[in-house]
Amino acid sequence: MVKPNPTGVLFRDQAEVWLQNSQNRKRNPIGNSYAVTIQGALDKWILPVIGDVPLGTVDNLTVKPLIDKMSAAGLSARTISKYVEFVQQTVASLKVRQRRACSQESLGCRNDGPSGCRAFEAEASIA
């Protein structure tokens, strides 16, 4: 099922933001060598398959061709799992950014319902 993407953010763009924020955060930032590893996984495996997909449409069906491609290339189950985790973290990072934006009253956002902010809501979760 294709979900609406009101933010217009592509997976590729959010992956860049996520990786940069992971390196620059105050609590448990990732090291430079691990960032290089993640960037390598993004460049070689993840972005060619789902980089141009709107973030709001990334789900299990979107990720399955990526998993199939990595499996056919002989990557270990552990590596595939880790790379899918990068995808999940990228998708989740937009939700965190949206919650922060929603909490700012200067944006005129109404806080409706359990999901927080309808103005910034993007159903971008990997079920």
Neighbouring residues of 14: CB distance < 8 A, sequence distance ≥ 6: 55, 90, 91, 93, 94
- Maximum distance among all Cα pairs of the chain, rounded to whole angstroms: 50
Check which CATH number belongs to the domain holding 95 and give it: 1.10.150
Q: State the total domains in the chain.
A: 1
Domain with 52 in it: 11-107
Q: Is residue 103 part of a domain?
A: yes
How far, in Å, are 72, 96, 111, 121 from residue 124 at the CA level? 27, 11, 19, 9
Closest-CA residue to 46 (of 95, 76, 85): 85
Q: Is residue 1 part of a domain?
A: no
pLDDT of residue 37: 97
> Is the full-model pTM beyond 0.85?
no
Q: Is residue 43 part of a domain?
A: yes
pLDDT of residue 94: 86
How far apart are the C-alpha atoms of 95 and 101, rounded to whole Å?
Answer: 10
pLDDT of residue 67: 98
The tokens of 126 are what? Answer: 């990997």
How far apart are the C-alpha atoms of 13 and 16, rounded to whole Å?
Answer: 5
Q: Is residue 94 part of a domain?
A: yes
Q: Is residue 89 part of a domain?
A: yes
Show pLDDT as tens, one digit a residue, over the chain (127 residues).
Answer: 344 445 589 999 999 999 999 999 999 999 999 999 999 999 999 999 999 999 999 999 999 999 999 999 999 999 999 999 999 999 999 877 666 666 654 555 554 444 444 433 343 334 4
